[in-house]
Amino acid sequence: MEQLLESLVRGLGTGSVYALLALAFVIIYKATTVISFAQPAFMLTGAVITSYVTPAIGVLAITGLSFFVSVTIAAILTAGVALVVERLAIRPMVGKAVFTVAIITIGIDIAVRVVVNGFIGLGARPIGFPWGLDRVELLGLDVQIRHLVMMGTVAVVVAALFWFFQRTRWGLAMRAAAFDQEAAMTQGVSVGGVFALSWGMAGALAAIAGSLLATGAGVDRQLWLVALVALPAIILGGLDSLEGAVVGGLAVGVVESLVGTYQRDFAPWLGDNFAVVSPYVLMLVVLLAKPYGIFGTAEVRRV
Amino acid sequence: MELRNKRRAGAVGLAVLALVATGCRGGDSGGEAGGVDAPGVTSEPCPEAVNEDNGCIYLGTISDLTQGPFAPLGVPITEAQEAFWARVNEEGGIGGYDIDVTEYVRDNLYNPETHAQVYNEIEPDVLALAQTLGSPTTLAILSQMENNDVVGAPASWTSLWGFEDNILESGASYCVEGMNVVDYFVENEGIASVMAVGYPGDFGGDAAAGAEIAAGERNIDFTNVETAPGQEAQAGAISQIVRENPDLVLLSVGPTETAVIVGQAAAQGYTGQFVGTAPTWNPALLQSPAAPALEQLFVHSGPWGSFSSDTDGHAAMREAIGEVDQPNDGYTSGWAWSYPLKAALEEWLEGDYDKTRAGLVEAIGNLETVDFEGMLPEEAGDRTGENDIFKQTVLSDVDPEAAAGLTIREDFFTGPTAEAYEFEGACFEG
């Protein structure tokens, strides 16, 4: 039982990071109807910035403060990079086929990652996470502090996001633009501004996710691959649902962790690496029952 | 009729142009360069030649330079090889030729298809490959290399290379490492169980095969666990290590995965021994959260001593590459891998061989020793025997004070399993 619960906590920890990444994908999708494949690059960018900023502000001696300040700075700077990319490469493509824009985001992803790789150097960069792999006992369970930090961070971010969308003018504008762009424009909503804001927010979320992920072993050039796990999370949660992104991310994290822990005992014929495949299996199972994901909006076509 | 004549004249003109263009290709000297009739050899000096009177031999490099998983090794390997051949040129070159390894450098992204594509691009213009990084990638071009009589220094240690005449391997394979590691820890630590944890394929598979052979010889328990690349993909392997609690875990993964597995298994209470094969280590791991666990539980096995080892070759390497931001055994490996090709070029150009690529292949088959300047024993370069597999391994401890974080624990040794084992083919055949 203890092992099961500990595996569950690990899954919720990494699932929280997947949730942040999934939120980033969904925010852009809702605003622009494009899946941005540039998110892995922004995730890497944020983690690399954190790895440079944390030691630079190491004078802040309070445990964890320098890390969290660094993550905040990384989120802001990465949002800036995302805004620039959106203005230069995406905005001119408004009105073009969604497929074309999605392909452009793949190019952006590769280009940004090649540049960022140059700042990583020849090995993994330490992220300056104050607790390393330390563990604490919580309700009788042996739990890594970093997983608790991941869960706490995503709780704060999700709360802030929901407040933003429900209570602010820009949040309302984004919801209006996501619902009907032309109608929103007639009401004075700047759709261009909504596009830019969605990219900026997604960049910031990806930066936070990357920084948290790197607390395990630092930032290396392959860290970006983790962002791909967010894709089954958003599909099973619902491509246009913020709630779905959170639930999908957590579900993927938990399933991955439980399969990693138990599959070799209960289903060894599935091979050694089935945990890696499990998010996609989960996605398929959910889609069979709910073709638009758990929280996705069903598309209605009149013929 | 006039039109037909014009067409004929045009065709002849094009043919002449084609012949001229072919003759002008850097790769086809046509005997112009001192009787050498091999692609990639010219009587013209190299670009930015050290010795203006020398001809030029172009060597290709296909490495993982930007996006692939082994770029942190591929970049320093390539830099070290540039430094190695620059030193050769500064010492006068070989047989009247300078060596150029900078003109034909290509990125394989650690992708076999890309590797084959860039090989086809540069093959007509190079004599040989100073580097072909990766086992699956090199396998993708091996038959073409054989057809073209192109030889290459690998940047990998799979046991298959011992059976390929066109691959100029250096040092012991992952399979031999696996055997020697098990033998060493049975004899010195009395281990009774070993678990191999590695990537699927000929990196993890080759090391696991060697460990399994030695475990069988020593009559100890053996388990093999395959794990995928990625920080968050290690939960299964960690859980298996903690639950089965083997005395020894042989890792064949990347450095980041090493940090995750060692750090988190230790955090979950595992106190046994980890040994990582050559590519598992990067000194940056000493800055990772896993550093305390690595210092306590991890030993590195490799084909030669680490960056700061005390040999003439290591010293020459350190001097040639100069100050680097981060000492890294990619440099060490790139330097060590270059010696056999240097010896082969000397043998070919100075000996009684056809001055063609085929002649170079023949010259390689006659190499009895290679002067590695102490980085490896000279017999590691023996390619004359029926079974010329080199079987010696170096073990190193984690040492934060050492330049690349490793100091030698056990210098070149061969365990009884590898000593007695008759290699008749690759240990791993995927």
pLDDT in tens, A31-44: 888 899 999 999 99
Mutation target to probe the A interface, by most A beta carbons within 10 A, among B70, B231, B258, B286 is: B231
Q: Sort out which chain A residues have CB atoms less than 8 A from B263's CB and list them.
A: 132-133, 216-217
Distance of CA A296 to the CA centre of its chain: 18
**Which one of B67, B231, B287 has the shortest CB-CB distance to A223?**
B231
Ranges of residues in chain B with a pLDDT under 50 are: 1-7, 9-32
B274 and B370 part of one domain: no
Judged by CB atoms closer than 8 Å, whether chains meet at B233 and A273 is answered as yes
B246 and B329 part of one domain: no
B196 and B75 part of one domain: no
B178 and B205 part of one domain: yes
Within an 8 Å CB–CB cutoff, is residue B78 touching chain A?
no
Mean pLDDT of A83-90: 93
Number of domains in chain A: 1
Distance CA A245, CA A98 (A): 21
Judged by CB atoms closer than 8 Å, whether chains meet at B226 and A271 is answered as yes
Mutation target to probe the B interface, by most B beta carbons within 10 A, among A7, A133, A143, A274 is: A133
B237 and B285 part of one domain: yes
**Which one of B67, B200, B259 has the shortest CB-CB distance to A217?**
B259
ipTM value greater than 0.90: no
Looking up residue B407, the CATH number of its domain turns out to be 3.40.50.2300
3-state secondary structure of B199: coil
Mean pLDDT of A51-69: 81
Within an 8 Å CB–CB cutoff, is residue B226 touching chain A?
yes
Judged by CB atoms closer than 8 Å, whether chains meet at A133 and B67 is answered as no
Distance CA B225, CA B219 (A): 19
Region of A64 (left: φ > 0; alpha: ψ -120 to 50; beta: rest) is left
Within an 8 Å CB–CB cutoff, is residue A217 touching chain B?
yes
**Nearest chain B residue (CA) to A224:** B230
- Which amino acid, one-letter code, is at A294? I
**Which one of A10, A114, A124 has the shortest CB-CB distance to B259?**
A124
Alpha-carbon distance A62 to nearest alpha carbon in chain B (angstroms): 19
User: What pLDDT is attached to residue B3?
Assistant: 42
CB A143 within 8 A of CB A136: yes
Within an 8 Å CB–CB cutoff, is residue B296 touching chain A?
no
With respect to residue B412, please indicate whether it lies within any of the assigned structural domains.
Answer: yes
**Reported confidence tier of residue A174, pLDDT bands at 50, 70, 90:** confident
Extract the tokens encoding A208: 């936070």
Within an 8 Å CB–CB cutoff, is residue B400 touching chain A?
no
B237 and B286 part of one domain: yes
B368 and B401 part of one domain: no
- Which amino acid, one-letter code, is at A216? G
Weakest-pLDDT range from A169-178, A237-246, B25-34: B25-34
**Reported confidence tier of residue A300, pLDDT bands at 50, 70, 90:** low
Q: Which residues, 6 or more positions from A295, have their beta carbon under 8 angstroms from its beta carbon?
A: A237, A238, A241, A243, A244, A247
pLDDT above 70 (res A91): yes
What length is written for chain B?
430
Alpha-carbon distance B223 to nearest alpha carbon in chain A (angstroms): 12
Distance CA A236, CA A284 (A): 8
Q: Which residues, 6 or more positions from B238, have their beta carbon under 8 angstroms from its beta carbon?
A: B260, B261, B264, B265, B268
**Nearest chain B residue (CA) to A279:** B233
Within an 8 Å CB–CB cutoff, is residue A136 touching chain B?
no
Q: Is the pTM of this model over 0.90?
A: no
With respect to residue A167, please indicate whether it lies within any of the assigned structural domains.
Answer: yes
Alpha-carbon distance A11 to nearest alpha carbon in chain B (angstroms): 10
**Nearest chain A residue (CA) to B266:** A133
User: What pLDDT is attached to residue A163?
Assistant: 94
Judged by CB atoms closer than 8 Å, whether chains meet at A263 and B236 is answered as yes
Is the Cα torsion angle B203, B204, B206, B210 positive or negative in sign?
positive
With respect to residue B283, please indicate whether it lies within any of the assigned structural domains.
Answer: yes
Number of domains in chain B: 2
With respect to residue B314, please indicate whether it lies within any of the assigned structural domains.
Answer: yes
Alpha-carbon distance B28 to nearest alpha carbon in chain A (angstroms): 36
Paired residues of A142 in beta bridges:
A137
**Nearest chain B residue (CA) to A255:** B235
**Which one of B71, B230, B263 has the shortest CB-CB distance to A133?**
B263
CA proximity to B77, closest of B139, B152, B136, B132: B132
pLDDT in tens, A127-159: 889 888 888 988 888 898 999 999 999 999 999
With respect to residue A121, please indicate whether it lies within any of the assigned structural domains.
Answer: yes
Extract the tokens encoding B106: 């290509």
pLDDT above 90 (res A209): yes
Judged by CB atoms closer than 8 Å, whether chains meet at B233 and A276 is answered as yes
Alpha-carbon distance B241 to nearest alpha carbon in chain A (angstroms): 11
With respect to residue B430, please indicate whether it lies within any of the assigned structural domains.
Answer: no
Extract the tokens encoding A254: 């938990």
Within an 8 Å CB–CB cutoff, is residue B287 touching chain A?
yes
**Which one of A126, A256, A272 has the shortest CB-CB distance to B226?**
A272
With respect to residue B34, please indicate whether it lies within any of the assigned structural domains.
Answer: no
Q: What is the DSSP string of B307-345?
A: TT--SHHHHHHHHHH-S-SS--HHHHHHHHHHHHHHHHH
**Nearest chain A residue (CA) to B284:** A123
Structural domain boundaries enclosing A29: 1-224
With respect to residue A40, please indicate whether it lies within any of the assigned structural domains.
Answer: yes
Is the Cα torsion angle A179, A181, A187, A193 positive or negative in sign?
positive
Distance CA A198, CA A28 (A): 5
Q: Sort out which chain B residues have CB atoms less than 8 A from A7's CB and list them.
A: 235, 239
Alpha-carbon distance A205 to nearest alpha carbon in chain B (angstroms): 19
Q: Sort out which chain B residues have CB atoms less than 8 A from A123's CB and list them.
A: 72, 255, 282-285, 326, 328
CA proximity to B396, closest of B384, B387, B406, B382: B406
Phi, psi of B55 (to 5 degrees): -75, -170
Give me the half-sphere count of Cα atoms (radius 13 Å) on the Cβ side of residue A11: 25
| Average pLDDT along chain A | 89
Within an 8 Å CB–CB cutoff, is residue B152 touching chain A?
no
B94 and B188 part of one domain: no
Note which residues in 243-302 of chain A have CB less than 8 A from chain B: 256-257, 259-261, 263-264, 271-276
Q: Sort out which chain B residues have CB atoms less than 8 A from A117's CB and list them.
A: 66-67, 71
Distance CA B161, CA B168 (A): 8
With b meaning 16 or more CB within 10 Å and e meaning fewer, what string describes A167-185?
A: eeeebebbbbbbeebeebe
Mutation target to probe the B interface, by most B beta carbons within 10 A, among A51, A125, A220, A261 is: A220
With respect to residue B35, please indicate whether it lies within any of the assigned structural domains.
Answer: no
With respect to residue B367, please indicate whether it lies within any of the assigned structural domains.
Answer: yes
B126 and B97 part of one domain: yes
B230 and B373 part of one domain: no
CB B127 within 8 A of CB B29: no
Q: What is the DSSP letter of B367?
A: -
Structural domain boundaries enclosing B194: 174-303+394-420
Report which secondary-structure segment, H or E, holds B225.
strand B221-226
How distant, in Å, are the alpha carbons of A253, B149, B166 from that of B349? 60, 16, 18
Is the Cα torsion angle B75, B79, B82, B88 positive or negative in sign?
negative
CB B407 within 8 A of CB B308: yes
Report which secondary-structure segment, H or E, holds B221.
strand B221-226
Distance CA B8, CA B402 (A): 72
Within an 8 Å CB–CB cutoff, is residue B200 touching chain A?
yes
What length is written for chain A?
303
B404 and B368 part of one domain: no
More confident residue, B420 or A293: B420
B370 and B227 part of one domain: no
Judged by CB atoms closer than 8 Å, whether chains meet at B287 and A126 is answered as yes
Paired residues of B155 in beta bridges:
B133
Within an 8 Å CB–CB cutoff, is residue B284 touching chain A?
yes
Note which residues in 240-259 of chain B have CB less than 8 A from chain A: 240, 254-257, 259
Q: What is the DSSP string of B123-187?
A: GGG-SEEEEEE-HHHHHHHHHHHHHHT--EEEES--GGGGG-TTB---S--HHHHHHHHHHHHHH
Distance of CA A104 to the CA centre of its chain: 20
User: What pLDDT is attached to residue B70?
Assistant: 82
